[in-house]
Each structure stands twice: as structure tokens, then as C-alpha cells.
Structure 1
């Protein structure tokens, strides 16, 4: 008998939680030998906590976990993994965009001996702009961080108990949990699925959160930003040296006066901007080092409830 934990991060999902549970109950729960559903309330401002507990009253296999405040989706998933007791755990979004039967496919792969199973988006029913920017992010990850990142990306995955323990041991803040999962290695498999468009509720995945994910991914797993700034410094030094030699040569041979206040100011301002950008990138790395040195936990669990009948 193998127990599967289903970890569901919750953030303003009161309108979809019951539909999500009913869908899983109808399609997959009765096909699992043993299961638990771990809902993690990531500081929602609606009545998601009450809805979660209402579901727990109907199913003794439901565990309700509430964080002390909003820590972000990745921290909520980590909290769920720390609470779950299954032999393996799968992450599940609460927005109804993934078919619940995907969990069974991941579980079957795990039973074949895979310790990490990634759910890859083969297609997605979303707007052109969302597809474009998502594609750009995954392209950037493949080129600068991990060449094995699937073209469609992956946000859902199944982890064996051993993989869960390694993820907990990493204890990284301001990082990408998906990239951590891919980094740890282990025997892995891929399952492809069709991601549907969201029809219920409003997405809280804002531009600011997307930008933070890009920054966290780059700063936590790649030295590419530092390397780019180093190359820019070398390039501008070479161009400046060539410019100086050219100006001196023209002055000595032709007698052209060295003038150009406006062009000189443009060069100075542009160079100053590059310097400030470089300092900003260094500051991002230094800030992350400071965050890690503080040893603050990536999440704080306020309450865990389970209806033991």
C-alpha cells in the first residue's frame, strides 16, 4: 500500500476549492490505495480557510494548514511538503486549469520507480501574451540556467519521499522551487498534459510576482548576470581605448580639435547607467546572501487542522 499526498497551495481560492475537491473525488480519489489532501492557506484574505475546513469535515483525509501570512506559492508548497505524510507527494493548483486525472498519471510513473515526475504543458488554452512571456521565460531558463527545462515549462510535479527530504534540506529562500526539483536529480520522468484556460475566479499571479520569479531564478541558479556585466565592462573599456587612440591620432595628423561636450556627456551618462545597473545586480546577489545568513524560515505555520473521526 502506497500513500499519495496531494499538496494544494491556496491563495484567494474560496470559489474553486469545493469544485476542485468534488472533481478529485469523482475522478481519482477512489482509485488511490491511500491518500491525503493537504490544503495550505497562504494568507488568503477571503474565506478560503473556512471552505477548507468545511471540506475536511466531509473527508478525514483532508489536512488544513494555515500560514501566519502570505509567503508566496513556493513557500506554501514547501509548507505542504513538510506537513504531508505520504510515500510521495504531488502538487496541485487550485485554479482548475489542470485535469485531476493528471495526478493518476504521475502516480503511475512513480510506481514504475521514478522519484521525480514532472508534469509538462504540451498545450495551453491561454492568451497570446501569456504564452509569449511564458515561452520567453522558459527559453531564458534553458539558455542560461538549465538546458533540460521543457519548452512548455512545468509547475506541477510528483516527488518521492526521498526527494521531499532533500528539498526540505535545501531550505532556500527567494528561489524557484521548480528549478530546485530539477536540480536535485534522481531518476525522473515526464508526463504531458493540456492546460486549460481559467474560467472561475481571478488569477493572483501578478506581473510583480512573475518578475520576482525571473529574478529569483537567475540569481539563485546562474552566474549569467554577473558574466554579462563583466563582458560589458570589457567591451566598453576596449571601445574607450580605441576612441582615445583615434582622437589622439586625428589631433596629431589632421589637427582636428577635440570637442563635443554633448557627445561626451552622453557617453558619461550611458557609462554611469551601466555602472548603476552593475551595482544593482551585485546588490541583488548581496541581498540574497543576507537573507540566507539571517536563517529565517521560508514559511511559518500558524495552524494545522485534521478531522480525525
Structure 2
């Protein structure tokens, strides 16, 4: 442990809670009340320092979410708001909050109260024991439907098989030290998949298990289509395995083609049941056509990512900030 780290651990850290929000007006009052109570308790116990606060990131909500956040920020010193100019997606909103909020340690969590808040003191304890990143990991998935549980667990296993470094059953509930966050700032990737990116930072990590609750209010902002999109994002952003798989498929098809050619020759020479040209033309044509389209689709996905990354467009724009914790020096 370096001298700076030891000095930081000698004093309670300033904690920033970062919560991306999209149309969360139903749950915000309860979320704010519970998080404020948690901050007050941690400060009273000397686990965190004064100046700790909640940072809501409004990801282009269409309801009263930003209006409520702005009102809370005016009435409470421990609530701040970050408003994006338009909807940029959960991962970009989360990154914006992490890069904009001050604090010695930052904990990202969802605004729907499904993440167990009682895991926060455990995360802080792991940080004080020397961990730079603490991952919140679901203990079990008994409350999920069979399809949800099966698809989620298969997804993590699939990513691991693709060579993506990821923490099993971990979403975006995690603690990051200021050092880890500043290291994350150096990544300019257009297509964000923080679940795969954060473990690659390489700092000492720890795991805190928790039980995920039911959503307190409102509707889930991650339907099946968005979950599948995020899953594909994770694979294509962190693994070149699909491209290598195309090469393997090409080799297999070559072998199959040789076998079919041999079969067609044998059938032609030694039987009377062969239809002229059918075996050697129709079957390979359909088979190879399907594989080629699939391969082009996978290659196209990677080319599209290169194209979008080459434009170097900003991942988000901050429209406005509210809250006493922000200063003129706050990064935007």
C-alpha cells in the first residue's frame, strides 16, 4: 500500500452515490429518503466524511424526474443533480456521473431500490481494507423467473467463454476509489460496457454479496430487447472471438464440402439414384449462403464499431448541474 493510500484510509472518505435515472418519478421520493438516512447513519458512525452526497444523473427523462431532482437539490445539501442534454443510455449516464461527481469513493447503483443498501457499509469496509474496487454480486436469483435466471446465467458464462473478463452475477452496483475512477477517465471507448471495462483496470478488488429486491415502483427500463443489446455489446466490445469463430467455421465448411464432394462422386459412380447436379450444387449453395450472410453480419458489426469510434463524437453532453457540492472546477 502506497503512502497516499495509507493517508487516505486514515480519515473517513467522502462518499458519492451515483444513480442514473430515466423516468423515475415514482421511486425518487423513497430512494432519496432511504439514501439520505443511509448517509446520515454512516456519517454518525464515522464511516464517511461530511460532504458525502447523492448524485442523480437524469438521462433525458420525459416525466418529472429532473424537476424533482432539482427541487431536492435546492432543499437538501446532500442531493445533487446532473442533467444530460438527451437520452444517451444507462452506461453513458453512469459514466457521466462517475466522471462528474467529486468524492474519495463513488458507489454506483440503480434508482429503483433493487440494490440492497445494506451492502454499502460492507463495500466501504472493503475499501478501508485496501480494495480499490468493490463489486456488488447477487447472492442468488430465486426471485427471477426461470427464463430471466437461465438467460442471465447463460449470458455470464457465454461472456467468459468469449474471453471477456467479467464478474459473475455483477451488474453495475460497485464501489470505485477516486484512483480507479481517474483511471477509467482515460478510456475513450464509444461503445461502453462498464461491467467488462472496470475489471480490466487491474486494481485490487473485492466482492460483497447481496440479495436483490423487487423494484419499489415504476417499470423496468431494461426490457428483453435492451438486455440482448447490452449482451451483444459486451461480446463485440471486448472479444474478437466471433471473428476467429468465422475462420473456424470456414475450415469446418471446407471439410464438409470435401466430404460432400466425395459422397456425390461415389453416388454418381456406383448407384443409379443420383440426380445430376443436385447434391453438388443445391446443398452447398444454401449452406454456404447462410454462413456467408452470418459471417458478413458479424464482420459488419465490428466495422460499424470502428466507423462510429473513428468519428470521436462525445458520449454525452451535460446540460446543467444543480447542488451545493458542485464547483466551477467540476469536470463536465
- Fold-level match, TM-score > 0.5? yes
Q: Tell me, which stretches of 5 or more residues in structure 2 are unaligned?
A: 1-11, 43-47, 327-332
Q: Distance in 2 between matches of 1:254 and 1:93?
A: 68
Deviations 1:241-299 (A, max 9, x none): 12112322443455765536488434312321110110010010011111111111111
Map of 1:13 onto structure 2: 24
Q: Distance in 1 between matches of 2:202 and 2:190?
A: 20
What pairs up with 1:1-309 in 2 under 5 angstroms?
A: 1-31=12-42, 32-34=48-50, 35-124=52-141, 125-146=143-164, 149-150=167-168, 152-254=169-271, 257-259=274-276, 261=278, 264-307=281-324
**Other structure's SS at 1:52 match:** helix
Of 267-276 and 241-250, more deviation after overlay is shown by: 241-250
**Other structure's SS at 1:154 match:** strand
Q: Distance in 1 between matches of 2:157 and 2:28?
A: 33
Q: Distance in 2 between matches of 1:52 and 1:85?
A: 18
Q: Distance in 2 between matches of 1:283 and 1:178?
A: 24
Q: Distance in 1 between matches of 2:222 and 2:284?
A: 39
Q: Distance in 2 between matches of 1:272 and 1:146?
A: 30
Q: Distance in 2 between matches of 1:287 and 1:60?
A: 44
Contact 1:40 1:76 in 2 (8 A): yes
Deviation (angstroms), 1:39: 0.6
Map of 2:6 onto structure 1: none
Over 3 Å counting, the alpha-carbon distance change for 1:147 and 1:299 in structure 2 is: closer
Contact 2:167 2:195 in 1 (8 A): no
Contact 2:126 2:134 in 1 (8 A): yes
Contact 2:132 2:180 in 1 (8 A): yes
Q: Distance in 2 between matches of 1:129 and 1:235?
A: 32
Over 3 Å counting, the alpha-carbon distance change for 1:262 and 1:242 in structure 2 is: closer
Of 237-246 and 42-51, more deviation after overlay is shown by: 237-246
Count of residue pairs brought into register by the alignment: 308
Deviations 1:134-192 (A, max 9, x none): 11111111222336532x23321111111101111102122311110111111000000
Of 299-308 and 289-298, more deviation after overlay is shown by: 299-308
Contact 1:141 1:149 in 2 (8 A): no
Deviations 1:79-105 (A, max 9, x none): 001111101111011011122222221
Q: Distance in 1 between matches of 2:186 and 2:164?
A: 21
Q: Distance in 2 between matches of 1:266 and 1:250?
A: 15
Q: Distance in 2 between matches of 1:250 and 1:21?
A: 75
Of 2-11 and 208-217, more deviation after overlay is shown by: 208-217
Q: Tell me, which stretches of 5 or more residues in structure 1 are unaligned?
A: none
Over 3 Å counting, the alpha-carbon distance change for 1:77 and 1:308 in structure 2 is: closer
Of 32-41 and 177-186, more deviation after overlay is shown by: 32-41
Over 3 Å counting, the alpha-carbon distance change for 1:308 and 1:224 in structure 2 is: closer
